[in-house]
Structure 1
């Protein structure tokens, strides 16, 4: 059965200066239930992550300052948030959601987090609406507990997974693959194990061809036994920040390619939602819902 991490804390209202369409965290589970893609028992509610899992990835001084609300205004501005206790608790629950998903994926083949995909969080700082790095924490937990040996992180958000690249830059057991907008945030890119930079306005055929060939390239040089998928839907043409020209149908085909790869190779996979900033909330919900629909169809 598909297991999905969702806690009502995910819907916690953020400061007015944020650009996140927070409604999606409330509407997406309702849509999946309404249309019958999943039933209520698919959802589990993560609590706050154990600090030791966070400190396996992030510097202790940074985490301490984060939870004690001691980061200065400049550091907070870089994350895009004005920090408060509820926000930091929300982040820790999202981290546990993805870590728990890794355990469920070992049992069921796949698990998904309604939130997560916080790939701009570095070992010692947060950026771009990311305070802690959920996929990095879950990947490190798998490796440290000998539940996986070789992990491939497939990051298809429109923004480079710069924090993830920095965290694993010297770890040969994690391969970071980021396919992102060349001219998009962050201005200064990190070096992933494989970076595929996309031109503005790229459309379905070219995008999907690049994805297929890039995945083939990765799997020739790296043999994973576990996958993480950053399934940001900010690649769609109606996204306010994305600058690409992929259709909602093309985004769904992207998900199919990743899920078929995982299914055919019998690789457990954890999915985090990542970004999505379309002008109309219905486009955000439809594109995200497609990821869950596709996972349900392929795996179950």
Structure 2
């Protein structure tokens, strides 16, 4: 399993008490290494190009973000103060998802220790998401003729609204979002398949929905690869989630997705998605379930 990571993931300077748990990426890398992942399995990505971003985002928005000319309202909606460090981090993160997707096509499984920025729309960022890395990766695979059909399986607790909006212009990108109906964003978009579960959903209902949704999407669309947003914010102690899914339930979700793809011989690329606890070491324990499941299966 190849893992894509850049030190800038956790190097972004943020205001004191900013809500985003920026240190979790470095903490997770250390935790994964303790599971037995070797240094050779971590690969540094290269930056996404403007041409790759333009597969899913307007050139005007790309130019404004990279050159620091976004409006104050656009920056507020994005959720991060603009800086050159943010530009660099973003380009590396999107590049990592593109390269991880390409690697998965050849090896079967890979992951980006960032990514899952599913609230980013074609013309704007939102909710800590600037460019939609999984949509860009999917469009890149299709445009470069490495894949014909790509399934984006979004298991973050929040709907993949930006992904749904972008994919409306890409017929071969199939979007499936399993999320909390009562959670952000207030106004939902239309994915190809939306499974909106009620607040306080527990392990049995969540896992049953996941299994049915994944099997259905694969049977109908026969994707060449699945891009998986493995959001840790479905966990019952997440501070921005509303589900009652246990830590064991998170592991079972990730295990099922990886095992299903392994059994069906479908390449799988994983991204972290959301996970929000003030004690960042605690959210790392939730994200770590993905990598434990992968090691248990491979």
TM-score for both structures, normalised by structure 2:
0.97
1:5-45 deviation line (CA, Å, top 9, x unaligned)? 11111112332263111121111111111231x10000011
- C-alpha distance in 2 between matches for 1:236 and 1:126: 25
Partner residue of 2:210?
211
- The TM-score with structure 1 as length reference comes to 0.96
Instruction: Output the CA distance in 2 between the equivalents of 1:142 and 1:195.
Output: 24
Q: Spell out, residue by residue over 1:159-188, the C-alpha distance to the aligned partner (whole angstroms, 9 max, x if none).
A: 000111011114221110000010100000
The yes-or-no answer on 1:21 pairing with 2:24 is no
Residue 282 of structure 1 pairs with residue 291 of structure 2: no
Question: Mean Cα displacement is larger for which, 287-296 or 145-154?
Answer: 287-296
Q: Which residue of 1 aligns with 2:189?
A: 190
Instruction: Give the RMSD, CA atoms, in angstroms.
Output: 1.2
Map 1:256-275 onto structure 2 (within 5 A). 256-275=255-274
Partner residue in 2 for 1:172: 171
Could you tell me how far 1:279 is from its partner in structure 2?
A: 4.3
Alpha carbons 1:168, 1:174 under 8 Å: kept: yes
Match of 1:42 in 2: 41
Q: Does 2:291 correspond to 1:292?
A: yes
Sort the Cα spacing of 1:14 and 1:183 in 2 relative to 1 into closer, same or farther, 3 A.
farther
Q: Are the aligned partners of 1:113 and 1:272 in contact in 2 as well (CA < 8 Å)?
A: yes
Q: For residues 128-151 of structure 1, what are the alpha-carbon distances to aligned partners after superposition, in whole Å with 9 as ceiling and x for unaligned? A: 000001101111110011111111
Q: Where do 1:53-64 residues align within 5 Å?
A: 53-64=52-63
Contact 1:148 1:225 in 2 (8 A): yes
Q: In structure 2, how many angstroms separate the alpha carbons of the residues matched to 1:233 and 1:278?
A: 10
Does the Cα contact within 8 Å between 1:236 and 1:247 map onto a contact in 2?
yes
Unaligned runs of 5+ in 2: none
**Number of residue equivalences:** 297
2:5 is equivalent to residue 6 of structure 1? yes
1:249 aligns with 2:248: yes
Distance 1:147 1:186 in 2: 33
Report the secondary structure of 2:269's partner residue. Answer: strand
State the shift of 1:297 in Å: 2.3
For residue 206 of structure 1, report the CA deviation from its aligned partner: 1.0
Q: Is the 1:18–1:80 Cα contact (8 Å) retained in structure 2?
A: no
Matched, 1:230 2:229: yes
Shift, 1:125, TM fit: 0.6
Deviation per residue, 1:73-98 (Å, 9 max, x gap): 10000011110111011000001101
